Structure 1
Amino acid sequence: MSQEFREFVRKVGSGTHTHQDLTRSEMHRAMTLMLTQQATPAQVGAFLIAHRIKRPTGAELAGMLDAYAEWGPKLPEIAAAQPVVVLTQPYDGRDRTMPLSPLTALVLASAGFPVLQHGGERMPTKEGLPLVAVWQALGVDWRRYSLTQVHGIMATIGLGFVYLPHHFPQAEALVPYRREIGKRPPIATLELLWVPYQGDYHLMSGFVHPPTEQMMRTALTLRGVAEFTTVKGLEGSCDLPQDRTAIIGCGGRERLLLKPQEYGLGGANIPLADGLTQMTAVLQGECVPLRTALLWNAGFYLWRLGAVENLAQGIHQTATLLDQQRVAQYLQKLVALANGT
């Protein structure tokens, strides 16, 4: 048993009226003790469920990110004209709506914006479809590559994926606790903010509940992250919805309320099963339902990243990239490069 970690459990697990928030440095130390398995399984489980009940603070999330920055993998900086775009999604995946970010990543990369994603396999508590499975369906199995190979692919073509089971086994070892405690621990929020990259980047992070967004903003500000975007997205991802107004935070400066109906792109969100069968068609420029979702998402991100002057132009540019087969050609190059690595 770790006496040091026992004190952290006591602080966060003392009840509604007597619990104490950890400082950023204390949370950094607590996360380190979990990653290095110096805390016992009983202590880790107790801490994670108590911390969920208490709710993390922005300073605690910053401390957790400090530990991930210290112990996790870091892709070296690549030579690129634009900061790397980091598109995140809850690690426990999707079970209702189509994950759009891999397709969005292809559009952005074909327009000259390098993109990085990260994640693992099906994960408690949701056990939804993970991003790595969507990429596999597109012809790229990111499970195969070492971190050095991922860096090589990213440096060559501008797209990469950090795969938790191989590239960060210390964090992967904490995954079974999610099933045992039956709830998402605060680590799930941490994963939306983690950036395993050493160069300049622009983080795109989704959220569900407004208090979570504020915690995220506080954590990123404490860590000196200037360029980030928060999206009240589909199932906690950074995918913009089509059935409601998209609520978007642009760092600490501005909030956007975007209505897809004003651009002719409103409607029902694409169901998971339907979206998976339409990926090839949408990349070939066909007018399947998935196309409107991709136009809405990639068009927004092109605008947010400064590639165009307004959202309508971003939507138009996305349509042009699809119709001219530039996104499909980019994917072919990525698949050829990845298979030759």
Structure 2
Amino acid sequence: MSAEFRELLKKVGSGAHTHKNLTREEAHQAATMMLTGEATPAQIGAFLIAHRIKRPTGIELAGMLDAYSDLGAKLNTIPHISYPLTILGIPYDGRSRTAPISPITALILACHNIPVLMHGGKTMPTKYGLPLIEIWQNLGVNLTQLSIEKAQNLLEETNFSFLYLPEHFPLANKLVQYREEIGKRPPLATLELIWQPYTGNSHLIAGFVHPPTEKMIREALKIRGIEQFTLIKGLEGSPDLKLGQTTIICVNNTQREEGYEYLKIHPEEFNLSREDVDLKDYESYYQEVNKLLQGQQSILSDSVILNGGFYLWRCGFSSSLKDGIDTVINLLDTDKLFTKLEEIKAVLNS
């Protein structure tokens, strides 16, 4: 047992009226002790559930992110790039109700020389949804055996890469079992959304469900000096924009005193469908993805157009959302997405 960790646990777990928030340094210490196993399993489980009940602060998230930055793998700055690297923070426990769009979004950005980094793990509690790694595997891209050197090379050669938690951050992967055992997503699930495993200039994209989470993330990013971000109230807490309703988005804006502003994206303004695509079964989803890659019409097309157009605009390629959407409409009539996918496969297999 760690007596030092016990004192941190007592602060967050003392009850509704007597608990205390951790300082940034204490949160850094707590996360480090959990990641390295200095805290015992009983202490880790108790901390995660107590922290969830208390709710983390932005300061605590910043400190825990410090530990992730210290101990996790990271890719190095890419030389001679025109745009900041886009980090797509996707919930690690996957999608269970709606069709994921972000892998196609990543290909769209990579086609336009905007580097993209994704990260995630295996099928994970508590949602047990479809994880990114399985989508890429179904597309013929096996990212589970990448060394960190190969991940770096893939990014530099194709403008796309992926960090796989079991391979690149095994210390964090060991904490996954606690989600199963406590039956709840701990605050680490929010931490994963805003992990930035890259040393260079980056643009953080993260999804959220509840407004308090968005505020907490903003506070953590401000404390850590992260100035470029896009936070999306997207499908199932992902950064995928919605067709079925207006999507609320928080973006950095240094011209405003508070440092951010809100956008509202209305799909009907662009004559797009107003229905999000259900994830009825994986096989049907993969068939629709492959239609897109072959330049065919798909039930995913409108969602891909909205998301791809928004991200091309937000990442600086397109001058407006309308211009971004038109660019994606034209792109889907070509084989460029398929060509980019084949390029990724070729570099992986070289």
TM-score after normalising by structure 1: 0.98
TM-score, normalised relative to structure 2: 0.96
1:164 equivalenced with 2:171 (yes/no): no
Q: Distance in 2 between matches of 1:175 and 1:308?
A: 39
Question: Where does residue 300 of structure 1 map in the other structure?
Answer: 310
Q: Describe how 1:26-37 pairs up with structure 2 within 5 A.
A: 26-37=26-37
- Could you tell me how far apart the structure 1 residues matched to 2:240 and 2:89 are? 9
Aligned to 1:240: 241
Listed as ranges, the gaps of 5+ residues in structure 2 are 253-258
Question: Is 2:281 aligned against 1:266?
Answer: no
- Determine helix, strand or coil for the equivalent of 1:226: coil
Describe the superposition over 1:250-284 as per-residue Cα deviations: whole angstroms up to 9, x where unpaired: 12322101111111113221122343220111122
- Per-residue CA distance 1:64-111 (angstroms, 9 max, x = gap): 100000000011111222111111111111111111111000000001
Matched AA of 2:17: H
List aligned pairs for 1:120-139, cutoff 5 A.
120-139=121-140
SS at match of 2:300: helix
* CA contact 1:11–1:19 (8 Å) conserved in 2: yes
1:324 aligned residue:
334
Helix, strand or coil: the match of 2:230? Answer: strand
The equivalences for 1:113-192 within 5 A come to 113-192=114-193
SS at match of 2:151: helix
The SS at the match of 1:142 is coil
2:289 paired residue number: 279
Task: Provide the secondary structure at the position in 1 that maps to 2:104.
Answer: helix
Structure 2 counterpart SS, 1:256: strand
Contact 2:83 2:315 in 1 (8 A): no
Which stretch of structure 1 is more off in the superposition, 265-274 or 164-173? 265-274
Residue correspondences, number: 340
Give 3-state SS (helix, strand or coil) of 1:249's partner.
Answer: strand
Give 1:127 shift.
0.9
- What corresponds to 2:86 in structure 1? 85
Letter in 1 for 2:210: H
In structure 2, how many angstroms separate the alpha carbons of the residues matched to 1:208 and 1:129?
18
Q: SS state of the match for residue 126, structure 2?
A: coil
User: Partners in 2 of 1:281 and 1:266 — Cα distance?
Assistant: 18
> Once the two structures are superposed, what CA deviation does each residue of 1:282-328 show, in whole Å capped at 9, x if it has no partner?
12221211111100001000011121111111011012222122122
Distance 1:21 1:182 in 2: 24
The residue number in structure 1 matching 2:256 is none
Q: Distance in 2 between matches of 1:55 and 1:277?
A: 40
Counterpart contact for 1:139–1:335, Cα < 8 Å = yes
Q: Distance in 1 between matches of 2:35 and 2:334?
A: 47
Distance in structure 1 (CA, Å) of the matches to 2:330 and 2:72: 38
Correspondence for 2:264: 257
Q: Which runs of 5+ in 1 are unaligned?
A: none
- Give the match for residue 51 of structure 1: 51
Deviation at 1:231, TM superposition (A): 0.2
What pairs with 1:181-220 in structure 2 (closer than 5 Å)? 181-220=182-221
Q: Is the 8 A contact 1:83 1:113 kept in 2?
A: yes
Give the structure 2 partner of residue 336 of structure 1. Answer: 346
Cα contact 2:83–2:316 (8 A) shared by 1: no
- 3-state secondary structure, aligned to 1:289: coil
> CA separation in 2, counterparts of 1:328 and 1:64?
39
8 Å CA contact 2:83–2:114 kept in 1: the answer is yes
Q: Distance in 2 between matches of 1:319 and 1:263?
A: 11
Select between 162-171 and 326-335 the one with higher mean Cα deviation.
Answer: 326-335
Answer whether contact 2:145 2:167 (CA < 8 A) is retained: no
User: What percent identity do the matched residue pairs reach?
Assistant: 52
* Secondary structure of the structure 1 residue equivalent to 2:153: helix
